Amino acid sequence: MSNRKRTAALVTVAALAGSVVWTAAPVATAQVVDVNYACKTPIGDKSAVSPIDIKGVKSGSGYRITMSWQKGVSSSPVELGKGSMNPSATITLGGADSGTVAVTGPANQAAIPENTPIKINDLSGTYTPRKSGKVTFTAGTLTIKALGTTTTCTPANSPGPSLTLDVTAAGGTGGTGGSASGGSDGSGGAALPRTGPEDSAVALGTLGGTVLLLGAAGTLWLTRRNQPR
């Protein structure tokens, strides 16, 4: 087989192998989940249902987690002036990891009229994986502090996860990253085995994920290696 034909065959195998790696392991799935909050307020118990959206974006060795409320929860018998309401929440981890992620956000940027459902601004926090695998993120407790009072809202309907991430803990092999709309996945670069010309295609097919990461540099190395000297 000529060097030109051999190189073309190797590139084709790399593309096919990379396609299999990409489709086999999605790194993130997300869905909006209705959460029925049971709230303990200074004036008694209240309840409200709000769709909750949680997103995760790779940031350094961890993820930036953002929690969004699509409807207001609880209410106040008096107007809450600008900057007088401070929300925070927890997100419960499941699957490969456990514990909670604390998320916080700014105080209300506009006055909230009396007896009006309180719309929570997006809350964010950082999650650093402690274990590798698929980790779920589920709405936890919401805390609202306003005018010297505290309201605690707890999910009463055992909601399902709003987000699932396939993560790798620090010191683990490989790496993942993604958001609710998708991301990338790959293993660390590794040297290609120094096999003979007839074995190159087999070796390339076996290490498809690695070759895909090497990209043009890997193809150039193979082409130069097989040129007559």
User: What is the value of pTM for the model shown?
Assistant: 0.64
pLDDT at 229 over 80: no
pLDDT at 127 over 50: yes
pLDDT at 204 over 90: no
Q: How confident is the model at residue 172 (pLDDT cuts 50, 70, 90)?
A: low
Q: What is the mean pLDDT of the chain?
A: 73
Percent of the chain with pLDDT over 90: 45
Higher pLDDT, 4 or 59: 59
CA distances from 120 to 83, 144, 225 (A): 12, 9, 60
d(CA 140, CA 33): 12
Q: How confident is the model at residue 114 (pLDDT cuts 50, 70, 90)?
A: confident
d(CA 140, CA 89): 7
- Tell me phi and psi for residue 100, to 5 degrees: -135, 160
- Tell me phi and psi for residue 183, to 5 degrees: 180, -160
Tokens 């290696």 sit on residue: 225
